[in-house]
Chains A and B, each alone.
Chain A
Amino acid sequence: MKSGPPAIAVNGFLLAAAAGTIFPLLWMVSASLMAPGEANAFPPPIVPARPTLDNYRELFAHAGMGRYLANSVLLTAAVTAISVVLNVAAGYAFAKLEFAGRDRIFKLLLGALVIPSQVAMVPLFLLLKSLGLVNSYGGVIVPAMAGIFGVFLVRQYALSIPNELLEAARIDGASELSIFRSIVVPLLAPIIVTLAVFTLLGTWNDFMWPLIVLSDNDLYTLPVALASLSREHVQDNELMMAGAVVTTLPVLLVFLALQRYYMQGLLVGSVKG
């Protein structure tokens, strides 16, 4: 069954699409190992004549890449840790605890998902300025400490927790906090990993808000720094490719390691309701 012209057509198409998709990423790695100026030739070389790590050395020694990498790691870790805790707690409560106005508030949150985040940016900037958080790590972390999408994702998953389990623990006299910690969190483990991966990738890759709120070079995240460097170093393609590798390789590796969880979140998140 797996032969003949139709099979060749399907697999040929898929292989060509995959090759075209992966090529820019492989070429990024290849060009990052070329000597300065080597990639500025016609025809452009596909592999370096003599692979070198000079571009990476240059980036970390003179362009402050270590600092940007540290900023990105720190901000991503802080946002992910805080927002996962707040979103998981709220998502669980919306699914399994009762409080006044619960369903109305949840509907309001769902409706607000259609508002693009950029609508809030200008007043948010002024608000953070009045709090003294503009041009500080806090300017990136504080507004991202919780999000509607995260609450929604956890709530959908938490709906499947059996009520009897929670009731039994309450009859045994367990406090709500200890029920949450010892029963709910273990049951929610898969969706917590999914949410963490989503938040991590989203925060790491975010560009527009860090660009607006961080103005000191020393505070730049990798994407903001790379955009700024690429405006200065228009001709230094090998150097910029090394910068692109440093920026995007960490998230690609996280994705490859936790792909299963990421795909699950993507499907839950897109099939709303």
Chain B
Amino acid sequence: MNKGCLTGIALTAALAGCASTPLPNAAVENARTVIATTEADPNVAQYAALDIEAARKQLAIAESAALNNDQESASQAAYLASQTAHLAELRATAKADDAHVANGVVERNRIQLAARDREAAQAQMAESAAAARAAKLQAEAAALKAKSQQ
């Protein structure tokens, strides 16, 4: 009698537990972690805001399905959420690399322009130095000539 009563209580408790607390879903847990990691990357907010937003929406769908113990829908939405977050990360990294190159091109043009200016200035200096030397030699030659004629 006592044993039967206890079994009854245990069964009721187990049933109540089933009804109120949803089973943990590994895919949903994983999606939550992936999205949190992706959100921590500043490039994602700057370059893939729409993708990470889509991932968050899928995660919300997964969480709501898990709450209703619809494990199949929860796992499906969680998978889509994780992959969309992965997509956000990849696209953000690619765009950050592209921006790095685009900014670098401006810097490169500046360096190349400065180098050309410097080369032109050096050529100008060399030219005037040569002209000065030529004038000096000419003057010396003229002086020698004048001396020999005396």
- On whether the two chains bind one another, the answer is no
